[in-house]
Chain A
């Protein structure tokens, strides 16, 4: 197999997989975000700490995100919409997956571009029609991939990426979400 340089440390992932098979407690991660309302429908979200491998962990930096709504929603456009953040998550999760699977399979990637489109009927969130759901009606991702591989191999990369994608699962399967008010 030729050495590929997609930059994914596949060995580290494979080693982690073996170790964690016998240590499920260490595999329990908790990802976190903290949000602060600014004004209107604008909030700021910070991400830094998370829990995993049995202890508290930190990203190197504190990462900040702004969320708002565009002017057509009567808002200030101080950030992208919350629903757009899901598309950010999906595209990046699938792209990371394509790179990881390509590395593992010895496929050299030259470029990977994707566009994500989420079809959204806003009558749901506006309460204009109770038959319309709040979330996306459907999402479509289109990949353009230039790699040292056949079309069949590239399609297999994309299929495998979905199979192991956290965000793909979070969007396509139900998730238990609890929202409460602190004492």
Chain B
């Protein structure tokens, strides 16, 4: 197992200080290794997650080689040659488990933001203290976006949040964690080959959730109540002005309708499944409140905005991958984790095999399926 840094490197190096998992502790399950603490409904901090993964590495006895940065992977005959900072390895099969979040994805027009405005991404943001005082424009209403907008609003800064398409969810539904419903109703078990628009499912932004002891819901209505100003999707920069979409109302409608369908599905499952676990009565949530007159543009040179926080997602980095299995959009081509090159596999990508593929407890099923295929390949390959 090659790791460019230390075990749980991304958790140690590439997330902000206050971050907690979106998934409750009882959902942290790895093969033969579970959360053993006293707060199953709580949410792990960065330190907790790092300890958890460290513990699993030790318990599983995985042969991890740390500090091994892979600079090239290419075919060599009927095997692969892997060039690392610690030397070369020849291997008949390789599993790419570098994930989908190696670098931040930032719109091209970021280059046109005036130099007087600081810019950070969710990837390098650490805490409010490191940003200048004054207004912040947070871009993106995914989990990272809403969390950072809330944290910065609490720090006393005026916050404006640019909202495109997003996934709205309450933290709890009928008294249980919303992710309990995603898990138990089977939504997260849905297979990649059963999903209508797989491409879209793989590109879905993370749901607007946060892990707090109060199990608070952090949707756009909660942010509005905190004084965060909502504007439409940031579309362009022209003459030092940020231009926002006038279609904000519709992205609210899309998210509200999608949430309603999700909750309808949960209610139906609960009714027909014979599940006898106690839940409260069905609830529905207030529609996302539309600002009276959402601003369509903002002068970035006027001093109102002192920093921009890009919560616009991540991209994988496959610069080291010298096998032609990456498509025109920089995504790895695979079928349920089996990459289009004999003996090459992937794990840990969005909806790799199921909707739960990128969640801690979802990796086990995927790993079993991929290693089964890999073992079969090695046997047949003799």
Q: Which residues does A use to contact B, with CB under 8 Å?
A: 138, 152, 155-156, 159-160, 162-163, 168-169, 171-174
Residue of A nearest to B237 (CB): A174
Contact A174 B250 (CB under 8 A): no
| B232 CB-CB contact with A under 8 Å | yes
State whether B243 touches A174 (Cβ < 8 A): yes
Q: In angstroms, how far is the closest chain A Cβ from the Cβ of B196? A: 11
Given contacts A152-B260, A155-B253, A172-B247, 7 further A-B contacts (CB under 8 A): A159-B257, A163-B165, A163-B250, A168-B250, A171-B246, A173-B243, A174-B236
- CB within 8 A of A173: which of B165, B235, B254? B235
Q: Mark B236-268, 1 if CB is under 8 A from A, else 0.
A: 101000010111001001100100110000000
A162 to B253 alpha-carbon distance, docked (Å): 10
Q: Known contacts A162-B250, A172-B232, A173-B235; is A156 also within 8 Å of B257 by CB?
A: yes
Question: Which of chain B's residues have a CB closer than 8 A to the CB of A162?
Answer: 247, 250
- Asked whether, in the complex, the Cβ of B257 is within 8 Å of the Cβ of A155, the reply is yes
With CB as the reference atom, state the residue of chain A lying closest to B243.
A174
Determine the distance from Cα of A163 to Cα of B165 in the docked complex, in whole angstroms: 10
B250 interface neighbour in A138, A152, A159, A173, Cβ under 8 Å: A159
Whole-angstrom CA separation of A174 from B107 in the bound complex? 15
A159 CB contact (under 8 Å) in B232, B236, B243, B254? B254
In the complex, how many angstroms separate the beta carbon of A167 from the nearest chain B beta carbon?
A: 12
> Which A residue sits closest to B253, measured CB to CB?
A159
Q: Complex formed: what's the CA distance from A60 to B354 in Å?
A: 48
How long is the Cα–Cα vector from A174 to B246 in the complex, in angstroms?
10
| Contact B254–A174 (Cβ < 8 Å) | no
CB-CB under 8 A from B238, the residues of chain A are 174
Q: How far is the CA of A63 from the CA of B153 in the complex (A)?
A: 55
Chain A residue nearest to B257 in the complex (CB):
A156
Residues of chain A within 8 A (CB-CB) of B236 are 173-174
Roughly how many angstroms separate A174 CA and B260 CA in the complex, as a whole number? 31
A162–B249 alpha-carbon span in the complex (Å):
10
The CA-CA distance from A156 to B165 in the complex, in Å, is: 14
Contact B245 A173 (CB under 8 A): yes
Rounded to whole angstroms, the CA-CA distance of A162 and B247 in the bound complex is 9
In the assembled complex, the Cα of A173 lies from the Cα of B247 at a distance in Å of 8
Q: Which of A138, A155, A159, A172 contacts B245 (CB 8 A)?
A: A172
* Residue of B with least CB distance to A176: B236
Q: Which 7 A-B pairs have the closest CB atoms?
A: A172-B246, A172-B247, A162-B250, A173-B235, A159-B253, A174-B236, A174-B243
Q: Which of B235, B247, B257, B261 meets A174, CB within 8 Å? A: B235
> Measured between C-beta atoms, what is the minimum distance from A159 to chain B in Å?
5
Shortest B164–chain A CB gap in Å is 11
* Residue on A nearest B250 in the bound complex, by CB: A162
Rounded to whole Å, the gap between the CB of B66 and the closest CB of chain A is 40
Cβ-closest chain B residue relative to A171 = B246
Contacts of B233 in A (CB 8 A): 173
| Distance (whole angstroms) from the CB of A77 to the closest CB of chain B | 30
Give complex CA distance A156, B264 in Å: 14
Bound together, the chains give a CA A50 to CA B192 distance in angstroms of: 39
**25 intermolecular pairs with C-beta atoms under 8 Å apart:** A152-B257, A152-B260, A155-B253, A156-B257, A156-B261, A159-B257, A160-B254, A162-B247, A163-B165, A163-B250, A163-B254, A168-B250, A169-B247, A171-B246, A172-B247, A173-B233, A173-B235, A173-B236, A173-B243, A173-B245, A173-B246, A173-B247, A174-B235, A174-B238, A174-B243
Which residues on the B side are within 8 Å of A155 (C-beta)?
Answer: 253, 257
Q: How far is the CA of A162 from the CA of B252 in the complex (A)?
A: 12
CB distance from A150 to the nearest CB of B (A): 10
Measured CA separation A160–B258 after assembly (Å): 11
**CA separation between A169 and B165, bound complex, in Å?**
14
Kindly list chain A residues whose C-beta atoms are within 8 Å of the C-beta of B260.
152
User: How far apart are the CA atoms of A156 and B259 in the complex, in Å?
Assistant: 12
Considering only CB atoms, which chain B residue lies closest to A161 in the complex? B250
A152, B243: Cα distance in complex, Å: 32
Distance from A153 Cβ to chain B, minimum over Cβ atoms (Å): 9
The interface residues of chain A lying within 8 Å CB-to-CB of B257 are: 152, 155-156, 159
- Shortest C-beta distance, A14 to chain B (Å), equals 11
Instruction: Enumerate chain A residues within 8 angstroms of B253, measured Cβ to Cβ.
Output: 155, 159
By beta carbon, the residue of chain B nearest A136 is: B246
Most buried by A among B250, B260, B261: B250
Give chain B residues whose Cβ lies under 8 Å from the Cβ of A138. Answer: 246
Taking CB atoms and an 8 Å cut-off, the chain B residues in 73-92 that contact chain A are none
A168–B243 CB distance below 8 A? no
For A24, give the chain B residue with the smallest CB separation: B328
Name which residue of chain A comes closest to B258, CB basis: A156
> Once bound together, how far apart are the Cα atoms of A169 and B247, in whole Å?
8
Closest to B251 in A: A163
